[in-house]
Each structure stands twice: as C-alpha cells, then as structure tokens.
Structure 1
C-alpha cells in the first residue's frame, strides 16, 4: 500500500512548492485530498498537535501550531478520525461533495489529560516503554555527540544572513489605517498572502556576508564581516543597538544543543538527554527512498510547559542523525512579546561524517497583544564553502563602518530576494524623504529616548528636568550633549541644575574623545574622558549627573535627608579589545561637603569637618566573553546571554596628593552570570567581594547600595536604608530567579494571564575593622545619626544582612511586582520589615 502525507505550514510556502502542491492536489481516480483547520468548539481557538488518521487505513498526520492540516492519499477514504488529549475523539465522514477546506470543531472531554497521542482503534495511554518512537529518539540521543558535537578540528565557512521585518496588521485595516493614509506608497507594497487575514508592510531589511572560523573549544573562533547591506533611517534611532538586540532575539538555533535560546529564554531540545522525560514522540510517516526517512513528531507531555512542538526527519542509515527539524511554540505557553514562532533547520554531513547547519529559517511575530499590530520578522541563514581545517585560509582585514556602507551597493547575495524583501529597501528610501515621517521620527525618538535633537545637540533627558528631594527641595535642571552631526570622534556634554531650597547651582561638563575614526561609542572603544562637576550625591549611591537623575527617583520611603555636595573632576582612559577584555585607568579628585542631616563630626568632639578631600588613582579590568549589548547613542546596556562577566576594580588614594586627606587602597571583584535551568527558568547570580586597606572615616568605607524608592532594584538592597550599613571588608551574593510561569501556567484561569513567578535572595556579609571604628580612634568621624541623635549607620556583625522577595512578572507584558521581606537587623531605627516594590521589566 502506497500513500503520501504532506504536512505544510500554510504561512511560509515557496512559490515552486506552491505550484507543485496545486498540480498534485487535483483530484484523480482513487485519490483523496483533504485540508482544513481544527478549532476548539467553545473558544474558537486553533488546536495544535491534533492527530488525524484514516478510518480503517494506517497512517496519519498532526495539525500544526495554527490547527492547520493537509492530507493527500492515493486511496478513497470515507472518514477521518481526529483525536487530541483533552478533547473527545471525532470521526468525520467525508462526502463526495465535500468542500476542499474543512472546519473541524472538537469538544473538550471530561478527562483532562495532557499531551498528544497517535489515534488507533483505542487510544492507549502514552508510555515511553515499548514505544518505537521513543526507542528511535534514544538512539538519536545516544549518537548525538558523534553526529554533531564540537568539531574535533577547525572549520571555516561563509555565512549569508538576511533579516526582514514587517509591520503586521489586519488585512481589513489597511484602508482605514491613519498611519498608512499618511504614507500611501506603503499600501502598494503590502503582502496579504503570506499570512492569511493579515497584511505585512515591509519596513526593515538587512543582509550580511560573513567569513567564520569555529574551533572545538571556541577559544580561537573568528568572524569577519565581508559585506553588509541594510535599510536604515539614519536619523534618531539607535539602529546599531537595535541590530544587536535583533541578533539576541533571532538567536542561533541548533537542535543538537542541550537547550535552545529564544531571546532570554531557554527551551529544552527535543533530543536532549532529558527530553524523553518531558516530550512525547510519535512516528507519523516513513518516506520511502534509497534511504528510508522517518518523520517523527514531538510535543510536550504537559502543554503548558516551556517546550517546543514540531517534527524532525531521521534517515535510517545507521547514523541516527537529525537531517531536518521544524520547531514551533504551543500557544498555551507563556513567552513575553512572542505571538508566534517557527524555525526550520536543515543539516548536511561533512567529510568526517558530522552534521552541520546548512540553512535555517526563523519566523517570529513580536507584539504586545495578540491580534493587534505587531512586528513579523523572518531571518534566513545559509552556510556555503564549508571546509575542514584552515590551512591556506586567509581572513581579510575587518572593514570599517564607512567601508561597509560604500561597498553595500555592490552586494552579491547567493540567493535572490523575495518581493517583500525588495520592497523593504524601497519603503525605507521613500520614508526617509518624507517630511511627515521625519517629524514622526523626532517625536518617537523623544518619547523613547528622552532626548530632543536640535541640530548638532541632543537636549535631555527630559525626565530629569524636574525633580525634588529633602536637601535641594524643588530641583530644576537643563542638560544636553553633542551628537554625530557635531563630530563622530568628540562628544561634549554639559548641564546645570538649581535647588530652590538650598539655593545652590550645580553643574557638570565633560568631554569624550575617541582615538578611532569610526565613532566614540563603536565597539571596541578607545577613548579618553575628562569631566568636571559639582553635584549632590547620596553617600554610597554614586549617581551620575547625566544619566541617573530622574523624576521617578524623587519618591522615596522613610527619611532621606543626608546628602553630599561633591565637587569632582576625573580624567580616564578606556580601552576595549576584540576579545571583550577591557580596562580603564583614571585619576579622580573629590571634595565632599556634608549637607542636610549629614555631619562630619570627629569622635574627639573637635569642630565638625566642613570638607573631606579625596584624590586617588583608579583602575578596572573587565572580561565579558561572548558579550552582547545594546549600544545606544548615549548608553550601553548588557544583553544577558548566559556568559559570565568579571569586573576587577582597584583604587589607591594618597595623603597630600592633590590635597588628599587620607591614604588607602580599595579592591573589589564582581562576577555576574545568568544560569539557564531549562525547563525550570533561569537565575541571575551576582557575587561580589571587596576590601579596603588603610584607616579611613566612614564616608570612605564601602557604603552598601540601599534603595529607599518604591521601585525594585536588582543590584540594591530594597529594604535597607541609605547609609545604614558600611564595611571595609565584605562579600555578598544576589540571586534573582524566574520560573517563567512553570507553576502558574498549569493553573486554570490564572494561566490565561501569562504571569511568571520570580524570587530573589540577597545575602551580605561584612564588617568594620577595629582601626576604622570611631570608638577606637578619636580622629575618625562619628557614624551618622538622626535628628534625635540616635545612630542610623552601622557596621555588620557576625549576622549577615538578608532580604528576599517573591513576586510576579509579565504583568501587562511589562511590569514586575515583588513582595520584599527583610529577615535580619529588624531592630535598627526606621527600618521597613516588608514592602511592595515594582519595576518596568521588559524581557523577551
């Protein structure tokens, strides 16, 4: 008996394949062709992974993520059987006059079982034992490292990448969209075929040709961009930073890895050693040929678990290798911003019998709400000239940004572009010439970045033009900095602020000079910075004048009446290497004057000190292997990707040097690591330790970062008061864990909210040496007190400071709320034992 089953994704169909499908779908004698969509009868939602079989005949298929299925068989059949766990089995009779497109509705069953099973006369309970599909996948797992682990030799290859992003909206909205009416040329390029019922307006296109070298231990990996072509606005947005973030979202997908990255999430691979405990497997077809190929479907045992659904092809040639795999997401799971996702990866075999990725296509729909406007993107990777060894291979010198822009006009691609990809280039060129769009960009940039571009100067951030605190009262500020229109090698920034209560003017002025022609902030940076400022500061917080002063930080709990006036100037050299090792060397001089309720009162009872002078040499050595970051025009934000970040800092102050009052040395080491624990979420772990050598008064101790605002701060102690604890030696660990909805996704009704569980634990050990305690040295300053004279600053004893939190994230897709609890030092004055804290938390 010969039959053929074809399961297609109706959203992504190659034109040639479409013609072949149309030709072969013509009805002929003794042939049945059926396709359609399967939905929940009550909710109307598509049902993925429904098993469809022929009544009385072997074989079948499963529905895709949209509930779509298609079957063609060289037999005349009278009925189909539809079966899915949690739904009643349906036997559907096919009429001769049956419509070519079926709309199947399934009723929920009273037995709420999880998973998917292949339909037989009687649906048996799924088991791993004596299951041919599981036995096959265990062979694949056993041969995984042999087929595709780390290469035992160096490989060199070329890689072509193209990424297209389109505005995704309802097809019926095109004629009524106020945005499109302003730019009518976009309507003519809309694609209404790729996604049924939706219209894609192409807005972004990027192509890259890269030469790469990979080694077994990845210590000698190389990557040189040969050419790049992309549509760019070249206006207000930080497009280079957006490129890096898109790379983070559309990450490399390899089913042979233990887990697979999707943004900041990790999914257990269906051929991981743990996979049979979490996935179900079904043999849906065997494709006959010179070498028979098994089509193996898989789905989560629990449909709410953060796992993939899909199918893979396994040639029966004795290698037990995956030659192709398609992955998509169950709509029941909780992935922030991702409305839809599908990736197809194809593998080829090299001369040594190992498999490498020959091509992959990742399609993703990103949006705040499903069914509304979103961004639909497709990233394609194609590997060419794959060779073992690097003998005789010469890597070209890396091109500068200006060279890449010049050569983009002569871009030679190995495959042709689709019409939607060609239109992306055209649309951006047209938008760039539109005065209306330029105005729209300026307003959007102001909202997103807080800066207004006025020729060669960016004015902002507007969020800090007005704020308030107990020392300065109402605080008014105006600041800005030059942009690339002024110079690509020099950035000047300046700001002035005035407090209506203290009647003090503050200022900051700085200069950054780049030794590279490509720009100040282009990686790898090689810059020198000189800055002078007179500004208020919360002791131990070290807030930056330009970036950290924000209106929202004005709202604080408890008493906040202690400030420093800090008259400071710095000179610093910063250098980054291609290996993501960086170092900085600097000279800093500070004059610290107490303000508000803060007093520098010597223990001897001598008159209060009006100013503390500090002059020191500073240094930092940082290593961030495989680092990714969002590089904006005015800032850099780390993209957490699972690789550690090490930061070693050291400084030395000298008495008498630039009028410095004390000699001491300060050393600290900070290690950050994101730990992926698929399918149990991930943890962000920060470990830090430090020590101060020398005798110093309390303002020069390590004053631990406290938070008296109502926002949740990851690296601060959210129930510690400002200046409450200080040390000259300390060690701390900070663990912030997200379960990614592992529990809540299994709870009826609550799972519809797509909330995520988050937990944190912060433990701080520390202490003050006897030589730095005021009771042992009358020259040292008394610790800070409140208005009643009660001491409010302390050193840590044998008991560590401990606080923890439990909360929910992904509230409205962008908010995290924590209940925070403090466990130690509850008798200190004016402390809060618990509280509710919130923060904006955008996490793909």
Structure 2
C-alpha cells in the first residue's frame, strides 16, 4: 500500500499503447441553440452507443473500426460526423429539425407512456431482484484501475517530480470528463462465489489475485471483495456513505422524471428504452437510461450517473453500468462497470477509479447445504495457496476479457518507478502525514503530533518513540517511547509488542507496559493528553492527570469477520497527585497508591462487518445497518492496605446506524454497566467528560471530568445526520452544501450505599457526584462547512447548578466526509 500512496502523488506510466476512439461533446438545436437531451449517438455500423444527457452533453468511447458518429432523434434530420479514429476529441453538433406538411391533428392530454412501463417494472421488482433466489454460484472476474487525473503538461518537469519526466509520453484523455490522466495501479482477481439465502451464507474462493507491485495475501482478500455491486432493484443504493434513490425504487415517481425514448427487438427480446432524470435539485439520485424487457419487465441494461448537483464532496462523477442476461429463464447480472472521478478542487490533481466485473458459469438455485461452507460466518473469503503467484499463461487463459496493452504494461510501470531514488522520499513524506510516522527502513519514528505538549503536572513535555515497520515483519510489531516533563523533571516510557498469528480471521496477542500520566474518565475517542491538539484546544487547565503504571496482556480470537472474543490480564498502579489525592479522612490515612489486578473477557459481534485492513491495524466500515454488540466482563482485586478485596464489572453496549433514505442517518449508542463490590472512586465508572473545544461523539460534551460517577448506570446517545435534506431546499443556502445535525445524550446512574460519598474508601474529589437525577445535553450542528469543518451548539439541560459548569458551548470538529 505504501508504494501506491507514492504513485498517487508522483504518478507513473505504462509502456506502449492500444488506441481507443474517444469523443466528448454537446448537441444543440440548429434553430434555437438550446441543448438537445436524449439524442441517440452511435458509432456507425456498430452497436456501441449512448444518448445525450439533459444538458445535451455526451461521451462515447470504444475499440471500434468506425470513424463516423451517427446522431438521430425523432423530429430531426439524422446527422453524421466524421471523427479521428484512435484519438480523443471534443466536438459540437447541431441538429436541424425535419420539415413536414401535416394534416390537422388533435392532441389529447394523456398519461406519460413511460409510467405504464415503470408500473410494470415496480410490480415485478421483487421477482426480478437477484436476491430473491434461494441460492446461486458463479465465477467472477474483477479488474480495478486507479488513475491520476487533471495532469498538466508541466506536471513532471518541476521539482523532485522531474525524476519522473518520462511519464508525460503516456498521458491519455478521459472521454467521460475530458481530463488528462495517468494510470498508477491495476488489480485483478478471479474467484468462485457461492451464495445461500436462508440462512444467509456467502463464500468466496479467490483462485487468482494480481496487483501491480504487490504480493500480499491480505491485499488479495481486499481485491476479491471489490465486486460489491449496486443492486438497482433495491430502494436505495449505498455509495460513499450516502443512500442514493434507485430509479426502480418504490418511490420512482416521487424521485424521478421518466421518458420513453425508443423500443427495439434485441437478442430475442422486445425492449423499451427509457431515460430518467432527478425530479428535485441536490437530491441523492441518478440520471441515465435503461432498457426494459417486455413481458418480464426486468432490466436488460442500465447506465446511471450521479446527479451533477448532488450534495456530496470530492466525487465529481460516479457512473454505474450494468448488463443482465437471461440465465435459466431469469435475468441475472453478468457485467458491471463503475467509474469514479475524485478531486479535492476543480484545479488540483485527483483520481479516477474504474472497476469492471464479469460473471461466468452462473448457476441459479443449485442445491446447497451447510457442508458447502467451511465456516459458520455469514461471509467468508478463502485465498487459495499461490493465488497471488499465478503466471502470465494462467491469466491469459482465465481472464474473462483480455487486458489492453496499456493495462498490461501498468505492471511493468510500477517496478520501473520504484527504481527512481526519489520514490522512497515521496513515499515516506506522504505516509508520515497520513499515519503520523516517518519510516527508516525497519523503524517508524513518531507520531509527530506527540513530540511536544503541555499540562499543569509536567509543564512542557517532549516525547520520542516509534514502532517497527513492515520491513521488519508483517506479523510482529514492536513499539516503544520515552517522554520527559520539564516541569516535574520525571521520565516516562511505554513498551509494546503485537503478534498476529493470523490476519483473517484475526488471531493476535498483544503485550504492553507503561509508566506515564493518564486522564481517568476520558472517552475512547478523546484527544490523548500528550497530543499537541489537546494543549491547543483545552477549555480548562489540564490538572486531572494521574501517574499510572500498567502492564497488560491480551489474546484476541476472531471466529469470523464481526465475531471475536478477547481475554486479557491487567495490572494497574495509580499514584495520586496534589490535585486528586487518595485520602480517607475518617481514618486520617493517605493512600500512596491504588493497585489493582484484573482478568477480563470481551465479546464483539457485528453481523456481516466489513474492514479496511493494513498489516497490523484495521478500520471497521460497519455492517450496512446491522447493530454492533459489545460485552466486557471483568473480575478484579484491589489492594486495600494489604487486604486484597474482590470486585466485578460488567459493561454492555449496542450501537447502530439506521438509514432513513433521503432523511439521512441516525446513529445511536446505548450502554449500561454495573460494578459489584466495595471499591474506591477510581474503580467506579467515571463518566466521560470533555473539557476541550473539540466535539467528542463518545463523551458528554458539556460534562466536566470527575463530575459524575456510578456503580450502576445507563447512557443513551443519538445523533441524526440529515445530509442537507432541509438546507438543500433553500435556494441560496443549498449552494453552500451545508448539512444539518441533531444531537442528544442522556445518562442516569446510581452509587450504592457502600460506595457513596459518605461511606467512600477514598474521599471523593469535591466535584464528584452521582447521577440518580438524570443528566441531559442536546445540540444542533452544521457539518460540511468548507467541506472540512463541523460546528455544534450544545446545551446542558440538567445539573445546571453544579460548580464550574457551562450551560452552552460552541464546539468544533475537523472531519473529512463525502
């Protein structure tokens, strides 16, 4: 992956060419000059064609022998335009209206003829949806290409990029956008897929995998999962974190305008050609056209292009093309192409993403049993031995469609670019800004944002450390750091080791030890105390730090994606500070430390969970609407002046993202917990406060640290992202593409009699209390401000008389969202 990041910045080229005729242009009316939508455009003598969009724009490309484009539309004289074969060009075409002498006609208002067809499509939608089959299997071939676009002629002639100046000899031009681009990555995979509906089971066996410059089993698993398709028969098509209304949805008439363009007899089927356009501005919809088969009312072919004014960031173009063929008297998806155009701004370089998927050897409703699946997982991916070492002869025989010469030579290009000395510098620089670490062969130094920070205990603090790189090992990662506070004049440190026995499913052991300051009661999402941003964004003085010695070891055993168990042991020794003493006033005794010994067990379940994985870390992409369940059970001992006392802790949570279609998404989290036993306040549940100007979705943003504690509690968080549903309907405001948020959080809890302030083993801090009277906060927010910023106004609704609290705050967050 590191080489790919650098290639996306430095670019590269392929050797040799196989030309393609590409034409982009507009069609207008010869008399009025107005753009003409729905004009049929084909390479003369071929079946390669397209239609102009609502603004008269079109693009067409193909490996064809024809050198003439034919333009036709009812009421206009057909027009033929000679184009340059095997080249890109932009043209403007003017069509003249036909002149006829007509007898008197009478026009009666009637129904749009496309509506009759769409009603039949809707009535047969569930029957034609491939998900209605009890089972199916096929061989699938996936090909994905990434290109750099908006490449200028002087791109590789300045600065360090002059080392790559040969690349401009191989630039190409996109027919879809007219942008000059350079390919930098290509990947292929060949798999056998088996699917069973009830119970839901899916197995993919990757027989071959090939990525330019990469030989890695975990990458093979990623490329095999590229074939996630857009199901046109569902109400919504998920893409880029948003829900796009399908033109075949139950709400087709509310979301789209339909037009009947033509009808034809093709491949033994009578087909209707329909065009569809969004009915409302800035809605998550498509424009495009589709061919519908008569009698079955199924889609034969569809091309859907993301609406041009949709409220989405960085994605300038997104096109889905699907082709269906008759298999055992049912229509089944046999080919899918996707195209994405991604740019941060119109003038900067960005990326094209292209994916082609084809299926062969399709079997519908084959008899399948549990014996056909090797795991209880709902989805499993198996990489055959040697899948990423298939030779060229295998690929030449097994590909569903052969690579062009340009595509073939991308593989050669990667090896050539890696020989350029400046390549390593570019790679390390880009990776440092993304990961926070700078790579020195076997060691990665960082993270850079923890080099310097400030707090009231240590004063100014500096930290140096790092971790082993993938060059050292792709199974073992060692880490270490040392820190020094110029105020307390003390040295702190941390050591860690992570070993992966298996990466999918994940089986790992992790051992860590540290001697460092920690802020109790912080959320898992909080900016850590040694991050420079914690210093910059602090609303109050950072006095809540305690020195912690901790050693822990845990083993994670994932049974399949989305279901894992973790067992671990942990030792903690917490030292009090002058701001947070450990004292028992009734005994006139000061605790010098708080020692605890814990065994814990975690269960995580998230149905059909997806991940984006690196060699050691991975990021969950969720599970398309299914809830995520977590349970943690802990048994512990704490040292009460030489007497080891037992305690137990149980914490459970459920979280989920629920789609409401055009109304956006709701995300909720419900958590409950209980501590059993007589424990000092640091071992109670210290509820997560936030004393910075940064919005934290896992914290109570208007709550102070050490304000509330419980040994029995339940909390609820709800956050609804409307994705601009309201702002998009306000004419001037919608140009800003801001998006609305509603936020609310509640907490109720209790401290049992033996752990309450009056009977506490250690005196509570003066600010610490219980929440048997519920705590609430709520807010409204706007995100997507200048594409990067989110601003929330948050109100505290209860416990308003507590000392040192704020009733209202404006909080900020930097985020990259699509």
Q: Where on the TM-score scale, by shorter chain, does this alignment land: which range?
A: 0.7 to 0.9
1:36 aligns with 2:26: yes
Q: Counterpart of 2:817?
A: 843
Say whether 1:795 aligns with 2:785: no
The alpha carbon displacement at 1:670 in A equals 1.6
Q: Distance in 2 between matches of 1:551 and 1:418?
A: 50
Give, in whole Å, the separation in 1 of the partners of 2:599 and 2:547: 21
Give the 5 Å matches for 1:670-749.
Answer: 670-749=653-732
Pairs within 5 Å for 1:126-141: 130-141=111-122
Distance 1:78 1:295 in 2: 21
Corresponding position of 2:797: 823
Aligned to 2:462: 476
Query: SS at 1:137's partner residue?
Result: helix
Mapped partners of 2:673, 2:391: distance in 1: 49
* DSSP 3-state at the match of 2:423: helix
Shift of 1:603: 4.8
Cross-structure match for 1:593: 575
Alpha carbons of structure 1 residues 711 and 244: separation in structure 2 relative to 1, 3 Å: farther
Query: Residue 564 of structure 2 corresponds to which residue in structure 1?
Result: 582
Deviation, structure 1 residue 191: 1.1
- How far 1:365 sits from its partner (Å)? 0.5
- Tell me which moved more, 609-618 or 64-73: 64-73
Contact 2:156 2:164 in 1 (8 A): no
Of 151, 164, 183, which residue of structure 1 is paired with 2:145? Answer: 164
Matched, 1:464 2:446: no
Query: Is 1:832 matched with 2:806?
Result: yes
How far apart, in 2, do the equivalents of 1:421 and 1:124 lie?
A: 55
Aligned pair partner of 1:627 in 600, 609, 627: 609
Q: Deviations over 1:543-562 (max 9, x none)?
A: 79998742112231134312
TM-score (norm 1): 0.81
Residue 288 of structure 1: how far off its partner (Å): 3.9
Consecutive unaligned residues in structure 2, runs of 5 or more: 1-16, 41-49, 60-68, 80-89, 96-104, 375-379
Give the alignment partner of residue 129 of structure 2, picking from 148, 157, 160. Answer: 148
Q: Which residue of 2 aligns with 1:754?
A: 737
Identify which of 312, 322, 331 aligns with 2:308. Answer: 331
In structure 2, relative to structure 1, the CA distance for the partners of 1:709 and 1:672 (3 Å cut) is same
| Aligned residue among 526, 545, 550 for 2:507 | 526
After superposition, residues 158-237 of structure 1 pair within 5 angstroms as 158-170=139-151, 172=153, 181-192=162-173, 194-195=175-176, 197-217=178-198, 219-232=200-213
Q: Which residue of 783, 786, 794 corresponds with 1:812?
A: 786
SS state at 2:460 partner: strand
Who is 1:263 aligned against? 240
**What SS class does the counterpart of residue 432 from structure 2 fall into?**
helix
Q: Is residue 345 of structure 2 the alignment partner of residue 369 of structure 1?
A: yes
Secondary structure of the residue aligned to 2:576 is strand
State the SS of the aligned residue for 1:229.
strand
1:505 aligns with 2:491: yes
Q: In 2 relative to 1, CA 299–76 (structure 1 residues): closer, same or farther, beyond 3 Å?
A: closer
Aligned equivalents of 1:331, 1:572: Cα separation in 2: 50
Q: 1:623 to 1:35 in 2, by over 3 A?
A: closer
Q: Is the 8 A contact 1:281 1:298 kept in 2?
A: yes
> Cα distance, 1:721 vs. partner?
0.8
Structure 2 distance, partners of 1:419, 1:548, is 54
For the residue of structure 1 that corresponds to 2:173, the secondary structure is coil
Cα distance in 2 between the residues matched to 1:64 and 1:178: 43
Q: Give the drift of 1:401.
A: 9.0
- Structure 1 pair 218/307, CA: closer, same or farther in 2 (3 Å)? farther
Give the distance between the partners of 1:432 and 1:233, measured in 2 at CA.
12
Tell me what 1:564 maps to: 546
Equivalent-residue separation in structure 1 for 2:785 and 2:106 (angstroms): 43
In 1, Cα distance between the equivalents of 2:73 and 2:276? 26
TM-score by length of 2: 0.84
Please give the alpha-carbon distance, in whole angstroms, between the structure 1 residues aligned to 2:670 and 2:135. 35
1:171–1:551 distance in 2 versus 1, CA, 3 Å: closer
Cα deviation, 1:552-580, whole Å, max 9, x if unaligned, reads 12231134312221111112111112243
Tell me by how many angstroms 1:79 deviates. 11
CA distance in 1, matches of 2:582, 2:590: 5
- Structure 2 Cα separation of the partners of residues 558 and 16 of structure 1: 64
Whole-Å separation in 1 of the counterparts to 2:527 and 2:616? 10
Change (3 A) 1:751 1:613: same
* Residues in 2 aligned to 1:807 and 1:239: alpha-carbon distance in whole angstroms: 43
Of 241, 258, 277 in structure 2, the residue corresponding to residue 299 of structure 1 is 277
Q: Are the equivalent residues in 1 in contact too, given 2:126–2:132 (CA < 8 A)?
A: no
Rounded to whole Å, the distance in 2 between the matches of 1:439 and 1:122 is 75
Do the aligned partners of 1:472 and 1:499 also contact (CA within 8 Å) in 2? yes
Structure 1 gaps of 5+ residues are 1-14, 23-33, 54-59, 81-98, 105-120, 517-521, 786-791
Counterpart among 361, 367, 389 of residue 406 in structure 1: 389
Deviation at 1:321, TM superposition (A): 1.1
Change over 3 Å in CA distance of 1:380–1:766 after alignment to 2: same
User: For each residue in 1:571-620, what CA deviation from the matched residue of structure 2 results, as whole angstroms up to 9, or x when unmatched?
Assistant: 21111122431111011111111224111222525222221111111110
**Aligned residues of 1:295 and 1:311 also touching (Cα < 8 A):** yes
Q: Is the 8 A contact 1:251 1:263 kept in 2?
A: no
Secondary structure at the aligned position of 2:429 is classed as helix
CA deviation string 1:524-561 (max 9, x = no partner): 22122222211111112277999874211223113431
Cα offset, 1:195, TM superposition:
4.7
CA offsets per residue over residues 772-819 of structure 1, 9 Å max, x none? 1021x2x5222212xxxxxx1111023x22222222222232222222
> 1:392-429: CA deviations, max 9, x gaps?
99789976698333336543312111344224323222
